[in-house]
């Protein structure tokens, strides 16, 4: 008797998942796995290879196309047009649309991400980091091979442009394409597009916090300017001050929502202490300096959030044996290090301190 496969539940009215990686990095394999996990009836894979095969006769190979600039330019434009049409069709039917193409630059990703933003659906990019030797090895086993020179050029492009995420993308998820895709990688992608998941809701609150903080400090600069001009009795100053107070209250409200969301999430989890204290360092998905750290804790549970200037983010959670007094986060050699200080019943002494290296996300 065959078992019926249980699909991951996705509460979404559509989404755009943009694959990014060189030929042979594993984009098509991961796309198929995601379609199986989410459910074939909910998912569309929009493949540049499939669209190209419709446009070009089978006897025109990559080498011929590569040596004909006009042919290559025309093909690229037509492929983009057809893929965008398919994406719009999928979003009109509330599908999760997976863009299976190289998408190595910000401009390439933005073409599809802009469409997702027009439909007001989650847009994420999955960056597959695969060694070029492994990509070439996989490519050699294909029926229609991509020239090694093309793969090498792609790798150069990925290195020079691939780490600039599109401003229209909500989140960038990096996955190691050299290894077998793990279940938690698939779950990370699914929760990033599910509005009911903690990951999605926290990301939304972080964005709202960022917008409010920017407005608050812009108003603060403007008020400081008016004060330097001794224009504190003007309508401009009064209105700006009033708006700044409103923004401050909104920020407090968003912060409270975030704290409650974390408490609710942690209350549903049971993370064994031993698993939280693994001595394996976690390398932050960061290609630039970390610009924002944030921590929250409740009772014996904590959660840490980090973001770098390229928009890469990391959320990690864990617990300690005793109630927490304070949590500190720092980055040393691209490793996210969390120091947790527990409470002590005797106020004359400091509580226990734990230095924690966390190597995986425990957020749903």
**Following DSSP, what letter does each residue of 45-100 receive, concatenated?**
EEEHHHHHHHHS-TT--HHHHHH-HHHHHHHHHHHHHHHHHHHHHHHHTT-EEEEE
21 bridge partner residues: none
pLDDT value of residue 337? 63
pLDDT value of residue 259? 81
Q: Using an 8 Å Cβ cutoff, are 240 and 218 in contact?
A: no
DSSP letters, 15-47, are EEEEEE--TTSSHHHHHHHHHHHH-TTTEEEEE
Q: Which two tokens stand for residue 317?
A: 């959670």
Q: Which two tokens stand for residue 289?
A: 């300096």
pLDDT value of residue 97? 97
Burial 299-329 (b: 16+ CB within 10 A, else e): ebbbbbbbbbebbbbbbbbbbbebebeebeb
Position of tokens 């990951």?
199
What's this model's pTM, rounded to 2 decimal places?
A: 0.68
- Torsion angle, CA of 263/265/267/271, rounded to 10 degrees? -120
**Count of C-beta atoms within a 10 Å radius of residue 281:** 15
Give Cβ neighbours of residue 214 (< 8 Å, ≥ 6 apart): none
User: How far apart, in whole angstroms, are the C-alpha atoms of residue 289 and residue 324?
Assistant: 28
Give Cβ neighbours of residue 143 (< 8 Å, ≥ 6 apart): none
**Count of C-beta atoms within a 10 Å radius of residue 10:** 19
- Torsion angle, CA of 97/99/105/107, rounded to 10 degrees? -60
Q: Provide the 8-state DSSP code for 13.
A: S
- Residues lower than pLDDT 50 in the chain: 1-11, 59, 69, 270-291, 345-364
- Torsion angle, CA of 117/156/128/192, rounded to 10 degrees? -20
37-58 pLDDT tens trace: 999 999 999 999 888 877 765 5
Helix (H, G, I), strand (E, B) or coil at 123: strand
pLDDT value of residue 49? 86
Q: Please state the φ and ψ torsions of residue 286, each to the nearest 5 degrees.
A: -135, 130
pLDDT value of residue 313? 59
Q: Using an 8 Å Cβ cutoff, are 164 and 20 in contact?
A: no
pLDDT value of residue 249? 96
Q: Provide the 8-state DSSP code for 179.
A: S
């Amino acid at each position: 008797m065959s078992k019926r496969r249980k699909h991951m539940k996705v509460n979404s009215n559509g989404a755009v998942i943009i694959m990014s990686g060189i030929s042979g990095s594993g984009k098509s394999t991961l796309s198929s796995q995601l379609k199986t996990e989410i459910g074939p009836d909910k998912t569309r894979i929009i493949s540049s290879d499939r669209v190209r095969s419709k446009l070009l006769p089978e006897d025109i190979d990559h080498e011929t196309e590569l040596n004909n600039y006009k042919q290559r330019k025309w093909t690229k434009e037509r492929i983009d047009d057809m893929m965008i049409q398919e994406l719009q069709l999928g979003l009109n039917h509330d599908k999760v649309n997976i863009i299976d193409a190289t998408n190595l630059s910000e401009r390439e990703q933005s073409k599809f991400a802009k469409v997702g933003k027009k439909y007001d659906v989650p847009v994420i990019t999955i960056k597959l980091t695969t060694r070029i030797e492994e990509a070439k090895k996989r490519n050699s086993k294909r029926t229609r091979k991509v020239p090694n020179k093309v793969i090498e050029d792609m790798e150069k492009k990925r290195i020079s442009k691939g780490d600039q995420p599109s401003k229209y993308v909500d989140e960038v998820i990096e996955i190691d394409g050299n290894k077998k895709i793990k279940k938690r990688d698939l779950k990370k992608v699914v929760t990033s597009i599910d509005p009911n998941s903690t990951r999605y809701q926290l990301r939304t609150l972080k964005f709202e916090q960022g917008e409010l903080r920017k407005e608050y400090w812009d108003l603060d600069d403007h008020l400081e300017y008016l004060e330097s001009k001794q224009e504190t009795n003007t309508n401009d100053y009064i209105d700006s001050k009033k708006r700044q107070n409103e923004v401050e209250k909104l920020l407090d409200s968003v912060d409270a929502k975030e704290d409650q969301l974390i408490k609710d999430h942690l209350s549903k989890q049971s993370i064994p202490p031993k698993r939280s204290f693994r001595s394996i360092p976690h390398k932050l998905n960061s290609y630039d300096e970390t610009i924002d750290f944030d921590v929250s804790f409740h009772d014996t549970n904590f959660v840490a959030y980090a973001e770098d200037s390229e928009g890469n983010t990391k959320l990690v959670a864990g617990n300690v044996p005793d109630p927490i007094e304070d949590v500190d986060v720092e980055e040393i050699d691209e490793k996210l290090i969390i120091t947790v200080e527990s409470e002590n019943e005797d106020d004359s002494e400091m509580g226990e301190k734990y230095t924690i290296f966390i190597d995986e996300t425990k957020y749903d």
